[in-house]
Structure 1
Amino acid sequence: MKRLLCLTLALALSLTVFAGCGKDDSSSASSGGSSAPVSTATPEPTAAPFDGRPLTGEEKGADYVGGRPVAVMINNRSDSRPTRGLSQADVLYEIMVEGGITRFMALFPTADLSEIGPVRSGRDQFFRLIRPYQALYLFVGRSEITQQYIDDTEYGELAVNGMKVSFAYRDAAREAQGWTTDATAYTNGEKIQSYIQSNNVDMSRELTSPIFDFVDYRESPRTLGGDSATSVNIVHSSSYRTAFDYDASSGKYLTSLYAPKSGYTPMVDEATGGRMAFENVIVLFTDITQYPYPGGNPHGNPDYKKVDYDFGGLGYYISNGRIEKIRWTKGPTEYPLMLQDEAGNSLKVNCGKSYVAVVSLNEYDNFSYEGDGGDATANSVAVDPNADSAAQQAEQAADVADAG
């Protein structure tokens, strides 16, 4: 009897199990006899990372050739204008050097250049800006202060003094026309390449990141949140000023240079006849004082300018017809220039060519801009009739010291 009960219970359990299986089978059968397909989400396509040109942020394109950038010191004394070949530059820096005179440093993406000049002597305030980018730095003569920075940073063959290396030559036509010697030195890609090959300089070293935090070239240019700024006037000193007028059709700022005798005149590239123009204008204010000079120069104190990059400061970013206040930091020589908006975020800079001015805090109140229909140069400071001659005397003293 016990055995029969156990068999009955076992049979009942097996029927229950099979009944459950039978129920699953019938469900499968009712749906066509196969399991329902498992749905998988289609992954979102991953956008290609930003990979713009390091100096402009623009798309590299099929014709892009990377490599080490080249920085060339350029004369901006009023009697040395017009300059030649600067429209090839992606970034143009302007800073006061001595006696109120400013100088340019043109930053090019490669050494493949047509004629550039007039080439001028090196200054530490420029070298410290491009040292982090490891650019080939070309100049004719240099201050001892500049040479000390070059030596301390072990820049070696990347710093090229045209007074000791024949990468530069004199423009015979300018000499015949009576131009001063310091306004006749030029160079070109062939001369630069000869130096590179002779000294085995590795020009394949490309920048690993852009010099500014550029807007993605696949997006529209950023509209700045500040005032309208279609006319801008930067006062470096009583005799040296640079003005910009916005051309809405091209989205660029057209450049003009000031001279006491002629006022504002368009800045053109002598090689092309075209107007110098930039998508971005960046103005950085800081303390600019005078380096102490020990004397011994029969022409007097060269008045070398000492630019303070240690603590950063305030400035302006101008693009696309508008202006924003910004902050900037730099610090030690090996640290790159960094730009932030007023909230402390990294400044988004529109793609394109940039003009960068480092200006004395003494001239902060003389900086001006106007909106549509305005002329910022009308608000310019009064002209000092003795400023230009005093500036040239200081530069002559510096020329003697540079050659020492």
Structure 2
Amino acid sequence: MRKLQAVGGAAALLAALLLGGCGTAQPVPDATPEQAATAAPTAEPTAAPASSANPLTGLDDADYTGKRPVAVMLRTLDGAQPQWGIATADVLVEGVTEGNTAGLMAIFADADSIAKAGPVGPGRDLFLQAALPLNAVPVSIDKNIYAANLLNTLGYQDLDGYHIGKAAFAFDQGRQDAGYREENCFYTTGELIRSGLTAYGASPEGENTPLFRFGTREEVSPENRNGMNLTVTFSKSDSEQLNYNTGTGLYEKLNADGSPMTDADNGQQAAFTNVFVLYASSGIKDDGYTRQYDMTGGTGLYLHGGAWEQINWTKEDATGPFVLTDADGAPLTVAPGKSFIAIWGGYYGQALTLTAADGTEQTLPEKPALLESGISDEAAAAAEADMDAAQRLVDAQAVIDQANADLAEAQTTLTDAQTALDADPENADLIAARDAARTRIDELNRTIADNQAILDAAPTETPVPEETPAPEEGEQSAEEPAAES
């Protein structure tokens, strides 16, 4: 049999970058040069004049004066759905930070509005870029080194379950009893968040900054609804839809498997008045697997009322707000209501599709250019082809091994049937058993021959698919948040 051999170098690196993964990293106090260049040297962003309206939705449904938003990182890997709080959050932000599954952050305008949010996931610097300009409290269980560096550089206080423990987080035993993994059972509430902030001598009260420039927009007529159904493909295994409901005037979100994204707390489907796709040039950070994005600006899409338009966005630094303009450069007016924001790099494996009411596919802006550290489509395709070829060899060898084991069993069955038949030559059941065993042996031999041909046709040295890197704590960890330190 041909023996598969692993090869290093560019092919293995490209494969690792293509597939993504998670690693273990501990926070360090100093920021990377990249973060130091973009992070403002102040602990809190400059706030706009106080307003009583909801700073995240623009709705005047309560008095939000002096209330800080809360940004909860949510787990999204297999087994995390349904999440708590996704239907009650004012804003959902989604984007790939590593691997093939997009991460999710739910932002609430007021801690006291959080009945239950979770399962709480690890913090990522990409999501902090959206939370910090709002003076929001970041809530997570663990965080990667880049998120830790950014917060440390700014002196910005977050709530992290690996430090604050049960003071701000709780465990849903019923969810675990129902079969959920332990890491998908931790949640928080407004009361727990207040308790956690008190332990740090902090408070959920403070200044807030409007997320967008909210105002009245013209109603979209049915004949102009050119932005009805949006599909955001974050990877080949994570393609999500937002479909406009003409009855509610909201974009309803679906999971990657096509099921409605519903809230584990109240059963409601996540739905939004506004949908944004912010194009951001992307690459790979210096750890070799975390996604890097240029968060200084780009183009994008704005969907509202069943229609869409091209927009542009800029962001001054890590604590700077998103500044949106229309295609002509005029400030964008955003309709009051909840918003979904996708940060989309457009790299290999990602795609966008938008259709009108009549099913016509729309022509969207060109995808963003890659950063210098990015992998070109050609290189990524070649890496994927190499990995697919290697996987075919692994699969072929596994089939051969199983067929050989089954062959031995079939031959024993044939021998037993023939022995019995020698003693009772006219027994119809024994004849049928003998013939079935012969047929099975022929099938197994053909299977072995076919898969051996695949191995024999392969190059002498073929890369073997690398094992998925060991998961980072907080990404697949089953540990309970650490006790308060």
With structure 1 as the length reference, what TM-score do the two structures score?
0.73
Q: Deviations over 1:64-120 (max 9, x none)?
A: 565011110001123211111222210100010211211111110111121111000
Map 1:1-400 to 2 at 5 A. Answer: 52-61=53-62, 66-112=66-112, 113-156=114-157, 159-165=158-164, 166=166, 167-207=168-208, 209-216=209-216, 228-258=226-256, 263-293=257-287, 303-310=289-296, 312-362=297-347, 366-374=351-359, 393=468, 396-397=471-472, 399=474
Higher Rg of the two aligned structures = 1
What is the CA distance between 1:365 and its match in structure 2? 7.5
8 Å Cα contact 2:302-2:310 kept in structure 1: yes
Cα pair distance change 1:221/1:372, threshold 3 Å: closer
What is the CA distance between 1:160 and its match in structure 2? 1.1
Q: Aligned equivalents of 2:341 and 2:222: distance in 1?
A: 18
Q: Aligned equivalents of 2:326 and 2:350: distance in 1?
A: 21
Q: Aligned equivalents of 2:475 and 2:266: distance in 1?
A: 33
What is the CA distance between 1:349 and its match in structure 2? 0.7
Over aligned residues, Cα RMSD in angstroms? Answer: 3.2
Q: Aligned equivalents of 1:279 and 1:272: distance in 2?
A: 19
Q: Aligned equivalents of 1:174 and 1:58: distance in 2?
A: 34
Cα pair distance change 1:205/1:220, threshold 3 Å: farther
Q: Deviations over 1:135-165 (max 9, x none)?
A: 1110000001110000111103xx1111111
* Alignment-derived partner of residue 370 in structure 2: none
SS of corresponding position for 2:55: coil
* Alignment-derived partner of residue 297 in structure 1: none
What is the CA distance between 1:335 and its match in structure 2? 1.2
Q: Aligned equivalents of 1:224 and 1:124: distance in 2?
A: 40
Cα pair distance change 1:247/1:154, threshold 3 Å: same
Q: Aligned equivalents of 1:309 and 1:363: distance in 2?
A: 19
Q: Aligned equivalents of 2:347 and 2:176: distance in 1?
A: 37
Cα pair distance change 1:141/1:53, threshold 3 Å: same
What is the CA distance between 1:239 and its match in structure 2? 1.2
Cα pair distance change 1:227/1:363, threshold 3 Å: farther
Q: Deviations over 1:378-397 (max 9, x none)?
A: xxxxxx9999xx99945824
SS of corresponding position for 1:195: helix
Greater Cα offset, 50-59 or 274-283: 50-59
Q: Aligned equivalents of 1:150 and 1:357: distance in 2?
A: 23
Q: Aligned equivalents of 1:66 and 1:357: distance in 2?
A: 28
Q: Deviations over 1:289-347 (max 9, x none)?
A: 22122xxxxxxx7x22222213x111100010000011111131121111111111111
More strand by share: 1
Unaligned runs of at least 5 residues, structure 1:
1-48, 294-300, 377-383
More helix by share: 2
Cα pair distance change 1:71/1:222, threshold 3 Å: farther
Q: Deviations over 1:30-89 (max 9, x none)?
A: xxxxxxxxxxxxxxxxxxx9964211011245x656501111000112321111122221
Q: Aligned equivalents of 2:316 and 2:356: distance in 1?
A: 34
Q: Aligned equivalents of 2:215 and 2:476: distance in 1?
A: 43
Identity of aligned residues (%): 27
Q: Deviations over 1:214-247 (max 9, x none)?
A: 114xx76577997611111111111112201111
Q: Aligned equivalents of 2:218 and 2:475: distance in 1?
A: 50
8 Å Cα contact 1:225-1:324 kept in structure 2: no
SS of corresponding position for 1:233: strand
Cα pair distance change 1:365/1:92, threshold 3 Å: closer
8 Å Cα contact 1:99-1:391 kept in structure 2: no
8 Å Cα contact 1:83-1:118 kept in structure 2: yes
Cα pair distance change 1:194/1:250, threshold 3 Å: same
Cα pair distance change 1:234/1:391, threshold 3 Å: farther
8 Å Cα contact 2:277-2:343 kept in structure 1: yes
Q: Aligned equivalents of 2:103 and 2:466: distance in 1?
A: 12
Q: Aligned equivalents of 1:185 and 1:267: distance in 2?
A: 19
With structure 2 as the length reference, what TM-score do the two structures score?
0.62
8 Å Cα contact 2:236-2:350 kept in structure 1: no
8 Å Cα contact 2:120-2:141 kept in structure 1: yes
What is the CA distance between 1:194 and its match in structure 2? 1.1
Q: How many residues align?
A: 328
